[in-house]
Amino acid sequence: MKKYLSRPEEIILLAVWRLKDNAYGVTIKKKVEKMTEKYWSIGAVYVPLERLEKKGFVRSCLSKPKSERGGRRKRLFTITSAGIYELNKIHKVNEVIWQGYSTDKKETW
Amino acid sequence: MPDKKPSLSPFLLKTLQIVVSKRYREAISGDLIEMVRGISRKKGTAYAKWWAVFIILTSFPRFLSHSFRWSLEMFKSILKLTLRHLKRHKGFSFINIAGLTIGITASLLMFLWVQDELSFDGFHANEKNIYRVICGKSNPSSPQGAVSPPVLAKRMKSDFPEVVETARLYHSGGILFSRGEASFFENNGLLVDPSFFRIFTFPFTLGDPETAFQESRSIAVSEKLAFKYFGQTNPLNKTITLDTRADFKITGVFKNVPQNSHLRFDYVLPFSLLERSGRDMNSWTDVSYYTYVLLREGASHAAVDKKFEILGSQEDPQKEGYYLQPLKNIYLRSDLLFDIGRHGNRVYVTIFFAAALFILVIACINFMNLATARSGRRAKEVGMRKAVGATRGNLVTQFYFEAFFLSFLALFLALLLVHFLIPVFYSLSGKQLSLGFLNNPFLLLTLAGTALITGVLSGSYPALFLSSFQPQVALKNMFNAGIKGARFRKILVILQFSLTIILITGTMVIYKQLDFMRNKDLGFNKDHIISISMRGEFLNSFSAIKNAVQQNPNILNISAASNMPLHIGSGTSHADWEGKTEDDVIQMQIAWVDADYLDTFEMKMVEGRFFKTGDTVDQNCFVLNEAAVKAMGMDSPLGKRFSAFGKDGHIIGVIKNFHYKSLHSKIEPLILNTDPRMQDLACIRINAKNIPGTLRFLEKTWKEYAPDYPFEYAFLDDEVDALYRAEQRLGKVFNVFTFLAVFIACLGLFGLSSFMSEQRTKEVGIRKVLGAGMFSIVRLLNSEFILLIGISSLFACPASYVVMTVWLQHFSYRIQIPVWIFLVSAGLALGIALLTVSQQSLKAAMSRPVDSIRYE
């Protein structure tokens, strides 16, 4: 039985999808911080990324060395078709489990 | 653009790289640099730097937990399996751990002892550049002395650029210290130049060594001595009376001299006292001094030796050769005449080291032996675990972990044991050891290394060999592994018992030699002789004392002499005799004795006569021992001219050789002469009956003549025994360790035999069913071990013969190693082994065949 993605993995995977061909460490970190309005450490970004890559939902390649990065290359992540498929699944599940929920305060208790 | 400036320290990047998996390293440091630059543009460099630190720190937990979590999980399971395994096989676990623990404990104690011996004189800050001047003819066979003339110190300092500092040293002999009621002889004193404390590191707790010896009547004492006479009060500037005559001011208190110093002293007097007493400090012939030298850093002592050669040949009338002896060599590597201080024995250090290594090896072998033997029954486990999905790596980790767990557990227990055994060891060997790990990382590393190697070796067989089994093979054919390891285990048992037999033989030879020394005819009767040293006014009143004492019928004989026949140590190589040629250089020892010496000690003359009572002419006569006559090559020595120590006379008699030193050294040429000034020791032969009464009588008489001096006496046979204390201690220590080695080897054998008889349970059962008797089964099971031990003795006997012959070389008078010793030790080993093994064999032989065949 395949497990679901963890929540951080899900968020990161979405960020990679959103960033299209400019998804690498810094942009992903910024994106998820903006989306979640929380501090993400580098570790918190890369550990789920690594897992996602192992599971085959993203793949990565190295860019050309950039001077503003101290001559270091970027590792650019792109979402794979398996990743898209997984996102679709999660989206469906999410829709189901969130169905009928509104942020109207009266309905919370 | 400030981009060229690296805004992130390489250190921070490195820290990050340790935790990140390799694949992402470059990208992450790139990301970090990019972010830091972005921040520093907005909020300044300083802020950015702190931000970088923060971000790296917060990343740590995530990475760490990711990589550690699963290995921790695995570790937990390995630990659980290991503990389960230990619990399951309690007997084996106990034997394994106990054997290794005892082995490590014993060898650790011995290593500590060796280390202590080797550490002698190592605590001086200038240790490497301190030397002692020794003298002797360049001819290597002629004896060298540890002494040197006083003029050398001055000349070296002024003439030799290599020399930084020199200090002369003179051994004070016993001095009577009195303060108020307290009055004791203090025997450990030195007279030294003030520079002594600049050369050596003997720190002062009170006073200053630079200024302490400005007055001639000043004295520095050890903390021990200060406490003895002054208790808790500050002794500085107080006075103490020496030899009832002179008051000395205490100007310094130094820390007690460490155990591992060859120089032992409790008080220090200024050397200038000797100069004042009129001794010639420019003499080349008065060699009663010791000279220590501090050389410039990096100077070679060979260069100084060369200069000695020139200086000696130009100025020394005696043409002695002088050499420098490194400080480190004094304790263990010198055998010089007239030496002071404590001496160790290199041979013992070697023997102890070897024995410690032996025991450690035996214990480790034992450990490996059991591990490999037991691994046979784990073949099934290997198969099972592989079948349920364990990889080979898992199994390797598991087996190695178990081995390390056991070996380090044993190491830990051993350390605990050593901690508690140090006082016991002290009473056995007379050496206070300490487990100072903090100042000895080498020892700690060695120990950890030992545990590691033992772990690796014992774990390797199951880890590398067993883990390679195909599951179905391992599950079906479980006995294969045990048989395959059998040859290896046999070799181990042979090695182990060889070592044990060597130790047993060693112990027996040591005991034999000790016994030989204790009972050897010394050439005199050492029983019931007491010696009392006479100081101060005593010398003049000896004849009065003698008359008074001889009234008592229990006093058989009394004689005044410079030495008892056990420590005669002063000598000369400048004696002259009729017919002496240029080439005759003979080192002769001398003792001054009176006419009663011969009868008191029950010695025998070979020819001529001994000294006569009351004959002052005899003061210029000499009695020589047989060895002296032989060395001079005289045919008829009686009446020949002979001169030594400034006396010119002739030989009146030849005394039969007697041992006047320990049996380590040969009987050397000896001169006996009469000189009442030198005879400061009263030797008294007393009746064996009523010894306490006689002692009381002597004390009373003594008090009459010298009320200021305490009455102190010593029995000669005690002192003779003391000469061999080192050997006796060695014997005792060796005894204990041999016992331990045998015990450990037996533990190993016990484990092995029980394993082997268990493996043959089925075979034994079938044999019994077919009619085999108990005896034939025991024989079957034992025969293999008998063969192994036979082979071990074949190896061990020649080896121990060689080792013990080397040890015996150390004694001039020694036993021949008798053949029966080898037979006995081999027999002993065999007996012990059979006893151990038979227990298991008998159990197997007596078991009911029904049970054994049903086994499985």
How high is the ipTM of this complex? 0.78
CATH of residue A20: 1.10.10.10
Whole-number pLDDT of residue B539: 66
More confident residue, B180 or A83: A83
Tell whether A31 is covered by a domain: yes
CB contacts under 8 A, B 424-483 vs A, are none
| Cross-chain residue pair B31–A24, CB shorter than 8 Å | yes
Tell whether A23 is covered by a domain: yes
CB contacts under 8 A, B 17-56 vs A, are 19-21, 23-24, 26-35, 37-38, 55-56
Give me the amino acid identity at A37: E
B22 contact residues in A (CB cutoff 8 A): none
A69 contact residues in B (CB cutoff 8 A): 30-31, 33-34
Angle at B642 between CA B640 and CA B646, to 5 degrees: 155
| Cross-chain residue pair B35–A74, CB shorter than 8 Å | no
- pLDDT tens-digit readout, A15-38: 999 998 888 888 999 999 999 998
Whole-number pLDDT of residue B376: 65
Whole-number pLDDT of residue A33: 92
* Pure H helices in B25-44: 25-43
Whole-number pLDDT of residue B485: 59
Please tell me the total number of residues recorded for chain B in this structure: 856
| Cross-chain residue pair A29–B31, CB shorter than 8 Å | yes
CB contacts under 8 A, B 61-80 vs A, are 61-63, 66
| Cross-chain residue pair B56–A44, CB shorter than 8 Å | no
Please tell me the total number of residues recorded for chain A in this structure: 109
Nearest to B8 by CA among B43, B56, B42: B56
| Cross-chain residue pair A75–B58, CB shorter than 8 Å | no
CA distance B827 to B812: 31
Closest CA of chain A from B368, distance in Å: 43
Tell whether A108 is covered by a domain: no
Please indicate if any CB of chain A lies within 8 Å of the CB of B612. no
| Cross-chain residue pair A66–B30, CB shorter than 8 Å | yes
Give me the amino acid identity at B163: V
Chain A residue at shortest CA distance from B22: A50
Write the secondary structure of B226-291 as one string of H (helix), E (strand) and C (coil).
Answer: HHHHHCCCCCCCCEEEECCCEEEEEEEEECCCCCCCCCCCCEEEECHHHHHCCCCCCCCCCCCEEE
Whole-number pLDDT of residue B617: 64
Tell whether A45 is covered by a domain: yes
Please spell the DSSP secondary structure of B50-75, one letter per residue. Answer: HHHHHHHHHHHHHHHHHHHHHHHHHH
B55, B56, B63 ranked by CB distance to A47: nearest: B63
- pLDDT tens-digit readout, B696-734: 888 888 888 877 777 878 888 888 887 787 778 778 877
Give me the amino acid identity at B694: T
Whole-number pLDDT of residue B581: 78
Please indicate if any CB of chain A lies within 8 Å of the CB of B58. yes
| Cross-chain residue pair A69–B33, CB shorter than 8 Å | yes
Which residue range forms the structural domain that includes residue A87?
Answer: 7-97
More confident residue, A73 or B318: A73
User: For residue B21, what is the enclosing H or E element?
Assistant: none
Closest CA of chain A from B395, distance in Å: 26
Tell whether A12 is covered by a domain: yes
- pLDDT tens-digit readout, B578-600: 877 777 777 788 888 888 888 88
Please indicate if any CB of chain A lies within 8 Å of the CB of B280. no
| Cross-chain residue pair B31–A26, CB shorter than 8 Å | yes
Nearest to B147 by CA among B396, B353, B322, B364: B322
Tell whether A66 is covered by a domain: yes
Output phi, psi for A63, to 5 deg.
-90, -175
Closest CA of chain B from A3, distance in Å: 18
Q: Chain A to chain B, count of Cβ pairs less than 8 Å apart?
A: 79
Tokens of B573: 């190589």
Tell whether A105 is covered by a domain: no
Q: Would you give the DSSP letter of residue A61?
A: E
Whole-number pLDDT of residue B446: 79
A44, A50, A68 ranked by CB distance to B24: nearest: A50
Closest CA of chain A from B8, distance in Å: 9
Closest CA of chain A from B7, distance in Å: 9
What's the domain count of chain A? 1
DSSP strand E in B391-491: where? none
| Cross-chain residue pair B31–A70, CB shorter than 8 Å | no
Q: What is the mean pLDDT of each run of 10 residues along chain B (856 residues)?
A: 52 69 78 83 83 79 67 81 85 84 86 84 89 77 77 87 90 82 83 90 89 88 90 88 86 89 90 83 82 89 85 76 87 78 78 81 77 71 81 85 88 89 79 67 79 83 76 61 62 82 88 85 86 73 82 87 79 77 78 88 88 73 88 83 82 89 83 83 87 87 78 83 78 80 79 74 84 86 88 91 86 87 90 86 81 63
User: B392-429 and B441-460 are packed helices; what angle lies between their axes, rounded to 10 degrees?
Assistant: 130
Tell whether A106 is covered by a domain: no
Pick from B24, B35, B53 the residue to mutate for testing the A interface (most A CBs within 10 Å): B24
Nearest to B789 by CA among B591, B493, B502: B493
Tokens of B656: 């039969």
| Cross-chain residue pair B28–A41, CB shorter than 8 Å | no
Cα dihedral B398, B399, B400, B403 in deg (nearest 10): 120
Whole-number pLDDT of residue B7: 55
Tokens of B102: 């005892």
B10 contact residues in A (CB cutoff 8 A): none
Pick from A46, A50, A64, A67 the residue to mutate for testing the B interface (most B CBs within 10 Å): A46
Whole-number pLDDT of residue B537: 65
Pick from B59, B60, B69, B70 the residue to mutate for testing the A interface (most A CBs within 10 Å): B59
B21, B30, B56 ranked by CB distance to A70: nearest: B30
CA distance B244 to B274: 19
Please spell the DSSP secondary structure of B83-100, one letter per residue. Answer: HHHHHHTHHHHHHHHHHH
**How sure is the predictor about A109, in pLDDT bands with cuts at 50, 70 and 90?**
very low
Pick from B16, B26, B36, B56 the residue to mutate for testing the A interface (most A CBs within 10 Å): B26
Closest CA of chain B from A59, distance in Å: 13
CA distance A83 to A86: 5
CA distance A10 to B716: 96
